[in-house]
A and B are shown apart, each in its own frame.
Chain A
Amino acid sequence: MAPTDIREAILDILGDIAPDDNLDDLKDDVAFREQLELDSMDFLDIVMELRKRYRIQIPEEDYQQLASMQSTVNYLSPMMAGI
């Protein structure tokens, strides 16, 4: 998957997790939590959906890599390159 496709995949997951939020103006370099109503259970949802949809296992110590869209795409790019 190219970084743009990974971004779309993340947006798709966020759309399910935060259906009441508008994702059109999401800034990639700003933390999700500063832009969206997300709590720790929501971040676990992101981890779970990546696991279910793409069979990607993210260790707990790496959860902080999912802070913003930019950091998430950077972190996932090598893992999803072959998908």
Chain B
Amino acid sequence: MIAPAKNRTLPDHDRIVITGIGLASPNGNNLAEMRENLLNGRSGVSDYEIRYVGKTLAGICDFDERKYQPRKERRRGTRAGSVGIYCANEAVVDSGIDWKNFDRTRVGIYIGVTEHGNVETENEVYELKGFDYDTAYWSHHHNPRTVANNPAGEIALNMDITGPHYTIGAACAAGNAGLIQGSQMLRLDECDLAIAGGVSESIHTFGIFASFASQGALASNEDPTKASRPFDVNRNGIVVAEGGCLYVMERLSDARRRGAKILGELVGYHMNTDATDFVLPNAERQAQCMQRALDRAGLVAEQIDIVSTHATGTDSGDSQECAALRQVFGKSEKTFFNNTKSFIGHAMGAAGALELAGNLGAFTDGVCHATINVDDLDEACRLNGLVINQPRELRQVQYILNNSFGMLGINSAVIIERFSS
């Protein structure tokens, strides 16, 4: 007998649901577009060029920055801020909430970021070179653009939100960390509506490409759409992507009261730390992270229908995660595994939130989208339920577990349940 999820025993006030999604992905500017491209195997990776590094590949977004942001505001702000503004506005529209009359002192903004400030700092130093490094030419915009809360603060300014706003620096686990923070603040009554998730402007900093290249972890391929290939024996690294995904989260009691459409319920999560290496992952801690997320939800592995893997296309990262997955899900015959980075690359701070969003459509269409570009499966990455190259129709998807791991050994797992009243 499988125990019911713990959320069912909680009062509605302590249950946290997703009621809106806004996203900017290299393969879609809203959830429907992204989902369609995921189900049809369409990659969002393309050729890219950036100063000093030269020709490379990236996941590039083409959302309309001007949809919600005046040109002057865009000029003053950052790309991360702009991504955040687009996603936050889209999420609020999607939620159907009466935004005009909503008490914005009770809205909290919790944005996961892998890094922030590199883009602006690099740009300023580059400009300064033209002035013989005379700091009199250093922009007065540098500080407000590079403070760590910048993307969240820009959303607050744009949307006239006066509740708490800040970013959560959590490397590539940041998207999940934003969601977790949002749910915690709702449970603590710190806000009535959370705008939470993650954003990334990372393709605009040459340093991230150069550093991955120096580490031997930057993907290359003659065909950009084939470059991001987690689990394939010929994978050769990460495709850096930009993007964002923000969720409107509410307490179930509030969502029910206003008759909101509910896209899913956050029923479990966990974050932990390897404490073993700056960059190399630790399968044991990753497995522990997933298991504790299951424990918090009151679930067992066999109840998870889809695991959205973190795998980035590196040798060690992919095989270690698969070892962790075998440890937790090795006996489960009904759990399937996919990877969204194979379509869009690694959207860094946005990755966890975007990859979860890409999977949420499975609650309604019952399909697990694939991991593309697996031409020759690495035996170290073999998993019974790995969905390769073609989407797989499942009967009904009730639970999705979303992994997101990052440098300095930060691990996160989030479990979302299909909502049924």
Give chain A's interface residues, CB within 8 Å of chain B: 16-20, 37, 41, 44-45, 48, 51-52, 57
Contacts and interface: CB of A to CB of B under 8 A. Distances in A.
Contact of B140 (A19, A20, A44): A44
A20 B137 contact: no
Interface stretch (B67-75, B97-105, B204-212): B67-75
A20 B136 contact: no
B131 A41 contact: no
Contact of B131 (A18, A19, A44, A52): A52
Contacts of B334: none
Contact of B76 (A41, A48, A52, A57): A41
B140 A51 contact: no
B40 interface: no
Interface in B63-86: 70-72, 75-76
Contacts of A17: 72, 75
Given A44-B140, A51-B137, A37 B76 contact: no
Contacts of B70: 20
Contacts of B71: 19-20
A18 B71 CA distance: 8
Contacts of A18: 72
B72 A19 contact: yes
Nearest to B141: A41
A48 to B, nearest CB: 7
B72 A41 contact: no
Contacts of B131: 52
B137 A52 contact: yes
A69 B140 CA distance: 23
Nearest to A38: B72
Nearest to A21: B72
A42 B211 CA distance: 35
B221 interface: no
A51 to B, nearest CB: 6
Nearest 8 interchain pairs by C-beta: A19-B71, A44-B140, A20-B70, A20-B72, A20-B71, A19-B72, A18-B72, A52-B137
Interface of B: 70-72, 75-76, 131, 136-137, 139-141
A18 to B, nearest CB: 6
Contacts of B139: 48
Contacts of B76: 41
24 contacts: A16-B75, A17-B72, A17-B75, A18-B72, A19-B71, A19-B72, A19-B75, A20-B70, A20-B71, A20-B72, A37-B72, A41-B76, A41-B140, A41-B141, A44-B140, A45-B140, A48-B137, A48-B139, A48-B140, A51-B136, A51-B137, A52-B131, A52-B137, A57-B136
Contacts of A57: 136
Contacts of A20: 70-72
A49 to B, nearest CB: 11
A18 B72 CA distance: 6
A47 to B, nearest CB: 9
Given A19-B72, A20-B72, 10 more contacts: A17-B75, A19-B71, A19-B75, A20-B71, A41-B76, A41-B140, A41-B141, A48-B137, A48-B139, A52-B131
A36 to B, nearest CB: 10
Nearest to A55: B131
Contacts of A19: 71-72, 75
Contacts of B140: 41, 44-45, 48
Nearest to A37: B72
Nearest to A19: B71
A16 B72 CA distance: 8
Contacts of B72: 17-20, 37
B144 to A, nearest CB: 8
A37 B70 CA distance: 12
B285 to A, nearest CB: 45
